[in-house]
Amino acid sequence: MSPTNSPTILLAEDDDAMRVYLERALVNAGYTVDAVDRGTKAIPLLEAGDYDLLLSDIVMPEMDGIELAQHCNETSPKTKVMFITGFAAVTLKASREQPQAKVLSKPFHLRDLVMEVERVLGEQVSAF
């Protein structure tokens, strides 16, 4: 993680192109981002780091985003959680399991993503 004062985001997204796209947009908006391709890779980072936000896809191999969020709530309770998904039924499950977490459905515009991240974190940092 960066030593700057920018908010830090842990991004868990299994789709390579989407992960690179989201990471670039968030970095351009002023955030420090650590990106991984699955929930199981996010666990040690959550345990060792101090993240402001976990931004996770819900449907991923090995460990889904809801399981990852539950682990995050236990190990890093100050970290806020936001989900991204392309599946409507999964959105409903996430809303039941993690009612405090925002769910952003794919497809979405990067501007919408950055605005939601800002809202969840309660800050204005982007140039969008």
Average pLDDT of adjacent 10-residue blocks, the chain of 128 residues: 73 96 96 96 93 94 92 93 78 62 84 93 58
pLDDT at 88: 62
Q: Which domains does the chain have, with CATH numbers?
A: 8-120 (3.40.50.2300)
pLDDT at 54: 97
pLDDT at 125: 46
pLDDT at 17: 94
> What's the burial of 124, exposed, middle or buried (CB within 10 Å: 0-12/13-18/19+)?
exposed
Contacts of 25 (CB under 8 A, 6+ apart): 110, 113, 114
pLDDT at 104: 85
